[in-house]
Amino acid sequence: MEYDKINIKTQLNKTQLHKLLEEQYKIFNNKHSISESLPDPLGVAREFSSDKVALFCALFAYGNVRAILKFLKSSPLTELQNNKIDKNQQYKVYRFQTANDVEIFIKALCKIDNLHDIFYKAYKKDSTLSGIKAMQEAIYKNISIQSDGLKFLIGNTDSSSPLKRWNMFLRWLVRNDNVDLGRWSDVKKSDLILPLDVHTFKISQKLGILKRKTYDIKAALEATNTLREFDSNDPVKYDFALYRIGQLGLLES
Q: pLDDT digit string (tens) for 30-64?
A: 988 899 889 999 999 999 999 999 999 999 999 99
Mean pLDDT score, 3-10: 80
Q: Are 159 and 232 in the same domain?
A: no
CATH, residue 247? 1.10.1670.10
What are φ and ψ of residue 7, in 5° steps?
-100, 115
pLDDT at res. 60: 98
Range of the domain at 128: 39-188
Domain end (from 188, 214, 236): 188
pLDDT at res. 177: 95
Q: Are 176 and 103 in the same domain?
A: yes
Q: Are 160 and 242 in the same domain?
A: no
Helix axes 51-59, 115-125, angle to 10 degrees: 80
Higher pLDDT, 141 or 4: 141
Higher pLDDT, 179 or 253: 179
Mean pLDDT score, 213-228: 98
Q: Are 87 and 159 in the same domain?
A: yes
Residue 29 burial (C-beta neighbours within 10 Å; 0-12, 13-18, 19+)? middle
Can you tell me the distance from the alpha carbon of 249 to that of 244, in angstroms, rounded to the nearest whole number?
Answer: 8
The answer to whether the beta carbons of residues 164 and 195 sit under 8 Å apart is yes
Q: Are 76 and 170 in the same domain?
A: yes
Residue type, 155: G
The angle at the Cα of 90, spanning 89 to 96, to the nearest 5 degrees, equals 130
Q: Which H or E element spans position 69? A: helix 65-73
The answer to whether the beta carbons of residues 171 and 190 sit under 8 Å apart is no
Domain end (from 156, 173, 188): 188
Domain end (from 155, 173, 188): 188
Residue 123 burial (C-beta neighbours within 10 Å; 0-12, 13-18, 19+)? buried
Grade residue 1 by pLDDT with cuts at 50, 70 and 90: low
Share of the chain above pLDDT 90, in %: 83
Reduced to 3 states (helix: H, G, I; strand: E, B; else coil), residue 162 is: coil
Closest to 172 measured CA to CA, from 45, 39, 23: 45
Q: What domain count does the chain have?
A: 2
Higher pLDDT, 177 or 253: 177
pLDDT at res. 249: 86
Whether the per-residue pLDDT at 208 is higher than 70: the answer is yes
Q: Are 99 and 200 in the same domain?
A: no
Mean pLDDT score, 132-160: 95
Whether the per-residue pLDDT at 79 is higher than 90: the answer is yes
pLDDT at res. 253: 65
34-38, 75-79, 185-189, 210-214, range with the lowest pLDDT: 34-38
Grade residue 8 by pLDDT with cuts at 50, 70 and 90: confident
Can you tell me the distance from the alpha carbon of 147 to that of 107, in angstroms, rounded to the nearest whole number?
Answer: 15
